[in-house]
Structure 1
């Protein structure tokens, strides 16, 4: 089939929940993707911050191939070696104490919510606890995750959602304090807001929320699904602040393309929250995804991904700042590490489409932000190439 035939078939067969670009991707190499017409695209989206190692990393691929030849699935009624090894590496990198592997980021959020509620139930002897979330946040599409997502557009068709959720202003500590009651069991927030427009937490805000939680025995849940796994120059974004969560969620780059997520707990929370029978998953943490996660941590170490991000990210920031300074239709840049956003007066959806014509993949965040979340293995030359292609795309839309 040609490209259009693939697209027509997909539109006939797949549920129309995405407005996709007219692009049928076939394979990847390094930081480039190739479509079925063999056109190359410089990738500054990484599958929405998933493909941290880029494409066709040999050691990663071989680890998956080897596991396919051994064992794909067992269920969690039994132990398996790859997942035990993956858990050990993940906990060492995070400094957390316990981990539960899920199939996705949304499922990690669901588990985190349940763990927080169970902790409060164990402590107080009753249910009916509340959660404080943030406006303009995004935590996923399931009912529980939607309930703590601060965007009415996503929520309204699916009401009523989970009760007992209040929304504070991100980076406004007083707005959090005003919502705290004796029913509050957790505060949940992204360490760097993603879909809401690429907003990093202010140090004073995240430090203040941590102190507040400590004073009130409230659990701090940090969502690191998009901003974690090295994207900010530390393995997890909260490590830039020195503020440790009680529960953390992770996914996306955790598997670098293999669907896997996780929620992490401190021992204090683990001891008083989820017990046998409280939570479970059929596929989560099976041998195949365990091998993937283990290989990802190995490659992060072998390739010094954190050091590389710290070297390349300032150059990306510099080049984006120069572009913002050059054009009046670009307002500001914000972000952390290789998770950057540029506020744009032009229709960002049209800019993303025009970028494809130039052989560049970029995505959006919210209504007016161009989002840059490339593979963490990009080099400065790729930043230069991206800027050149993006500039052409911007000018074509401006016309």
Structure 2
């Protein structure tokens, strides 16, 4: 029998090196705490990159997984299933949308949204209306199409010619957008809060201006809510606070609390352009993932859950303020709900990875959003005592970085 004992070193031996994971190996989690293979515990401020919105091993989700897992996991797209129909019905009742398409990830949801936009424009206006407008520092996924639409060239360089007809504009620059959106524009895709790009909220006037320009020129407005959606912003979806309705919305990450699922939501009129066979997926909308996601949306959409997000957001920002009073390392704290970014001062420019690594060494799982921003995306129901403990540990981690700098 082969030796199947594994460690962090095994990653370097057998995994394609597109990631550089931490030195410790997480083993199990409960709520907002994670334990590694050595039994050491960590406070989780990352949520699996804004994914585990209800924490680890949530009892209601475990029950759904067991019940549906004992019935039907997968059936294929030649058939429908009750869990996916319930999930679609719940999402359309809670949002502007009439129709849902389910995939396996945020990238696939965005791929579907971008394909739909081009198909709608082709059917209505012909092949010349194919231009897609996106924004610098945006992130929309890792498929070749979505990574090309994303506004971070480092992710698309070295893979050959990118698809034609993609324009990148400065984020929150309404004048530039109004000038660029025209008769050839088929879609504008935007994150209500840029996550990977530094946790930068869109100005409400910017989003409204995009809506108006799209209306004027017959283009679709796509909101990428892969990271902001499912309660992360303090609303079920961030567009609901902004008061700007998109034509298409994409959602994933927290939708399955870690089970891979994504969705594209849109209207009856637009969905009609995706006729049978025009787009598809093998695993998307499988009954196991849909059942779990349906329970997630049921719990998160409860007003008490969303109110709790706003309360925890204030507590988290207060903790960051206290840290900054001690250390003076943050230039700005921004974001909404439990998607918060703390930008480092010029003295620590480019050092976010150092703080992230030190946090892990002191028992905190953290995120960054570029070289200058620490990102916080914990569970939406994180116990306040865990938050307090996490910031106590993070304070020690910051001290260790500052001490090493001297």
User: So what's the TM-score if we normalise by structure 2?
Assistant: 0.94
Distance (whole Å) between structure 2 residues aligned to residue 289 and residue 251 of structure 1: 11
Q: Which residue of 1 aligns with 2:374?
A: 370
Q: Secondary structure at the match of 1:157?
A: coil
Tell me which residue corresponds to 1:199. 200
1:393 to 387, 393, 397: 397
- Residue 185 of structure 2: aligned partner: 184
Match in the other structure for 1:263: 264
State the secondary structure of the residue aligned to 2:227.
coil
Aligned 1:112-131 pairs, distance under 5 A: 112-127=113-128, 129-131=130-132
* Offset from partner CA, 1:223-259 (integer Å, 9 cap, x none): 0001111011100011111111101110000000100
Q: What 5-or-longer segments of structure 2 have no aligned partner?
A: none
Partner of 1:313: 313
CA distance, structure 1, for counterparts of residue 243 and residue 206 of structure 2: 13
2:79 match: secondary structure: coil
Match of 2:299 in 1: 299
Cα drift, residue 382 of structure 1: 2.7
- SS for the counterpart of 1:83 is helix
- How big is the shift at 1:181? 2.6
Distance 1:16 1:245 in 2: 37
Give the conservation status (yes or no) of the 8 Å contact 2:230–2:297: no
Mark the runs of 5 or more structure 1 residues left unpaired by the alignment: none
**How far 1:126 moved relative to its partner?**
2.8
* Matching residue of 2:250: 249
Q: State the shift of 1:89 in Å.
A: 1.1
Distance 2:221 2:78 in 1: 30
Aligned positions, number: 398
> How big is the shift at 1:196?
0.4
CA-atom RMSD, angstroms? 1.8
Deviation at 1:164, TM superposition (A): 0.2
SS at match of 1:78: coil
Where 2:61 maps in the other structure, the secondary structure is helix
Secondary structure at the counterpart of residue 7 of structure 2: helix
Aligned partners of 1:60 and 1:299 also within 8 Å: no
Distance 1:64 1:282 in 2: 20
Deviations 1:18-77 (A, max 9, x none): 011111111111110110111110000000000001011111101011111101111111
Contact 1:117 1:127 in 2 (8 A): no
Return the offset for 1:302. Answer: 6.0
Q: Deviations over 1:115-146 (max 9, x none)?
A: 00011011113355101100010111111101
Shift of 1:325: 4.1
Equivalent residues of 1:313, 1:338 under 8 A apart: yes
